[in-house]
Amino acid sequence: MPRAAVPAYEQVKAFIRGRIASGQWKPGDPVPSEAALMQQFGISRMTVNRGLRELAGEGLVTRIQGSGTRVAQLHRISSRLTIRDIHEEVAERGHVHSTRVLLAAREKASAAMAQSLGLRTGGAVFHSRLVHLENGVAIQYEDRYVNPAAAPDYLKTDFTQVSPTLHLLQHAPLTEASYSIEACLPTAEEAKELGIRRTEPCLAMMRRTVSGAHVASVARLVYPGSRYSFAGQFQA
Amino acid sequence: MPRAAVPAYEQVKAFIRGRIASGQWKPGDPVPSEAALMQQFGISRMTVNRGLRELAGEGLVTRIQGSGTRVAQLHRISSRLTIRDIHEEVAERGHVHSTRVLLAAREKASAAMAQSLGLRTGGAVFHSRLVHLENGVAIQYEDRYVNPAAAPDYLKTDFTQVSPTLHLLQHAPLTEASYSIEACLPTAEEAKELGIRRTEPCLAMMRRTVSGAHVASVARLVYPGSRYSFAGQFQA
DNA sequence: GAGTGGTCTAGACCACAGA
DNA sequence: CTGTGGTCTAGACCACTCT
């Protein structure tokens, strides 16, 4: 028997997705059991199981052991938000990325910063400030503090060649991160470096990354509202 | 042989995750082959395969047929961004959600709106405008256009009881969506209804949802920058 | 050709839910 | 108790990569 071009478990997924998308199966409705789908498709249970398990992972169906599989209540469509290197992001748009380095220094940690990074107050901390440009236009002001324990060579990096994010991704494998995005007005310094008025609203992303046992970095990324937006797509 | 409390494929995943997190295996390094892991753990290939496949899905490793499995180059940590009902979101914080309805009407679609929703110009379109409050404080101004074909009963809904998002999630199962988030200043109307100054920066989310064959809805959600931020967590 | 991952099977035992 | 999903095995054939 020749293998189909599209795997059997994908066929099962497509079948169920279709019923849900077309509205034939509504939230809360039962999905055929693994045994039923085995018969219907003439395939083994492991294969059916894989299809259903993946649909559950995508949030399209809910499975309860002993009870059965049902169409998920709210079709929570979700997209993946990813920490990316801005250089890569700009390059993907076919544009030229460049960097203006404002500061790259070793400093003594303030109490607040020490707390954030899990250091002792007054301990050494790396501090960088730079502006990212896309085709020569400033799109991001990056103010970052780095834990020397997580990335000891941070300051040796030429940030015009390797962005701080990339250096950190390569030297301090991410294990955890948190972020928040808010709207704010730029500080005088930020406005000056970004070349915008102080009244222009900006997106600010606060990001804290953890690598293994260390908090690796705390950053504030400021984007002019008129030049940048976060966009994404959801797919069921 | 009694089943272990933690499944074998999870043990494989934990083993590999550990090596990566601890830095013993760096980006680009080869991960042991399925055959090697079978031997090491004394389990069957399908089980090893599931562990590795899930790690690949999480972006922690890259698998190439014929070549092997390697630690992924950039540990792209990503989190799921989900379309949620604001009522649910506020309730989850233990706060009280309420709604002020400003408008709920059938209108004729402008050319631009008809284009967005996939209608003919001048066709009927549902239009709602409302303010969402958390503990009595305005946190979101919602301006939404809905395709009558996707949710014919939209205007019959009491939006103080069932939010537009919830109604749509329930009656027009999401199949696709796109969004963008930007910083902006509120319009005069928005500032008035949100009770903020016109100079206060806001987050604006534009969202377009598709349900089956129809574009279901186009919405603009405006959040005062001082009262709201999008936040999230990434986990490897 | 040897080694890799992608898929699949036909069984199996188990934990759990619901009647 | 029956039916469900969760996990696992010991094989198998295939497509692919690399040497």
Banded pLDDT at A144 (limits 50, 70, 90): very high
Judgement on whether residues B120 and B185 belong to the same structural domain of the protein: yes
Whole-angstrom distance, CA of residue A128 vs CA of residue A136: 20
- Using the predicted structure, report yes or no on whether residue A73 has a pLDDT greater than 80: no
Which residue, A66, A69, A29, is CA-closest to A49? Answer: A69
Report the footprint of strand D: residues with C-beta closer than 7 angstroms: A 3, 31, 33-36, 45-46, 49, 52-53, 56, 63-69; B 3-4, 7-10, 42-47, 50, 64-67
Chain A positions in Cβ-Cβ contact with residue B85 (cut-off 8 Å): 74
Judgement on whether residues B98 and B139 belong to the same structural domain of the protein: yes
Across the interface, whether the CB atoms of A83 and B85 are under 8 A apart is answered: no
Judgement on whether residues A126 and A157 belong to the same structural domain of the protein: yes
| Average pLDDT score, chain B | 89
Task: Give, in order, the Cα–Cα distances in Å from A182 to each of A54, A218, A234, B99, B120.
Answer: 34, 16, 21, 23, 37
Q: Is the CB of A105 under 7 A from strand C?
A: no
Strand, coil or helix: A1: coil
pLDDT more than 90, % of chain B: 64
Residues A4-16 pLDDT 10s: 678 899 999 999 9
Most A CBs within 10 A among B20, B50, B55, B203, hence the mutation to make, goes to B203
> Which has more pLDDT, A123 or B170?
A123
Instruction: Tally DSSP H helices, then E strands, for chain B.
Output: 7, 11
Banded pLDDT at B1 (limits 50, 70, 90): very low
Q: What pLDDT shows up at residue A97? A: 95
Task: Give, in order, the Cα–Cα distances in Å from B216 to each of B26, B96, B113, B145, B150.
Answer: 45, 28, 12, 9, 5
Task: Give, in order, the Cα–Cα distances in Å from B228 to each of A10, A37, A204, B144.
Answer: 40, 46, 12, 20
Which residue, B129, B126, B124, B146, is CA-closest to B217? Answer: B146
With contact defined as beta carbons under 8 Å apart, do B145 and B219 qualify? yes
Judgement on whether residues A111 and A163 belong to the same structural domain of the protein: yes
The number of domains in chain A is 2
pLDDT more than 70, % of chain A: 94
Question: ∠ at Cα A73 (A71, A79), nearest 5°?
Answer: 90
- Model pTM score: 0.78
Across the interface, whether the CB atoms of A81 and B21 are under 8 A apart is answered: no
Contacts of B164 (CB under 8 A, 6+ apart): B128, B130, B142, B144, B146, B154, B157, B217, B219
Residue A80 lies in a domain: no
Residue B78 lies in a domain: no
- Chain C bases closer than 7 angstroms to a protein Cβ: 2-12, 14-18
Residues B51-84 pLDDT 10s: 999 999 988 899 999 989 999 876 566 666 777 8
Contacts of B48 (CB under 8 A, 6+ apart): B9, B12, B34, B37, B38, B41
Beta bridge partners of B183: B203
Domain coverage including residue A40: 8-71
CA distance A172 to chain B (A): 8
Question: ∠ at Cα A113 (A112, A118), nearest 5°?
Answer: 105
Judgement on whether residues B55 and B90 belong to the same structural domain of the protein: no
Judgement on whether residues A215 and A123 belong to the same structural domain of the protein: yes
- Determine how β-strand B202-211 pairs with β-strand B176-184: antiparallel
Q: Is the CB of B59 under 7 A from strand C?
A: no
Chain B positions in Cβ-Cβ contact with residue A26 (cut-off 8 Å): 173
Beta bridge partners of A232: B179
> Which has more pLDDT, A2 or B104?
B104
Question: ∠ at Cα A147 (B25, A150), nearest 5°?
Answer: 10
> Which has more pLDDT, B21 or B123?
B123
Give the CATH number for residue B46. 1.10.10.10
Across the interface, whether the CB atoms of A178 and B231 are under 8 A apart is answered: yes
Whole-angstrom distance, CA of residue B36 vs CA of residue B45: 10
Average pLDDT over residues B22-51: 91
Residue B164 lies in a domain: yes
Q: Which residue is nearest to nucleotide D7 (CA to C1')?
A: B7
Judgement on whether residues A126 and A204 belong to the same structural domain of the protein: yes
- Using the predicted structure, report yes or no on whether residue A1 has a pLDDT greater than 50: no
C-alpha neighbours within 13 Å on the C-beta side of residue B30: 8
Q: Which two tokens stand for residue A153?
A: 């060579």
Judgement on whether residues A56 and A169 belong to the same structural domain of the protein: no
Judgement on whether residues B187 and B99 belong to the same structural domain of the protein: yes
Give the domain-ending residue among A48, A71, A94.
Answer: A71
Give the domain-ending residue among A45, A71, A97.
Answer: A71
Residue B1 lies in a domain: no
Whole-angstrom distance, CA of residue A66 vs CA of residue A110: 55
Whole-angstrom distance, CA of residue B162 vs CA of residue B85: 10
Q: What pLDDT shows up at residue A103? A: 96
Average pLDDT over residues B176-180: 86
Task: Give, in order, the Cα–Cα distances in Å from A98 to each of A90, A131, B82, B146.
Answer: 10, 8, 33, 42
Judgement on whether residues A22 and A67 belong to the same structural domain of the protein: yes
CA of A12 to C1' of D15 (A): 22
Whole-angstrom distance, CA of residue A217 vs CA of residue B146: 43
- Using the predicted structure, report yes or no on whether residue A98 has a pLDDT greater than 70: yes
Judgement on whether residues A34 and A150 belong to the same structural domain of the protein: no
Give the total residue count for chain A.
236
Q: Is the CB of B160 under 7 A from strand C?
A: no
Give the CATH number for residue A176. 3.40.1410.10
With contact defined as beta carbons under 8 Å apart, do B219 and B143 qualify? yes
Average pLDDT over residues B110-121: 91
Give the domain-ending residue among B22, B43, B71.
Answer: B71
Residue B51 lies in a domain: yes
Can you give the C-alpha Rg of chain B in angstroms? 24
Residue A67 lies in a domain: yes
CA of A40 to C1' of C14 (A): 25
Q: What pLDDT shows up at residue B77? A: 65
Judgement on whether residues A63 and A120 belong to the same structural domain of the protein: no
Residue A231 lies in a domain: no
Residue A35 lies in a domain: yes
Residues B25, B27, B33, B38, Cα dihedral to 10°: 50
Q: Is the CB of B35 under 7 A from strand C?
A: yes
Contacts of B142 (CB under 8 A, 6+ apart): B128, B129, B130, B131, B132, B164, B219, B220, B221, B222
B90 backbone dihedrals φ, ψ, rounded to 5°:
-70, -40
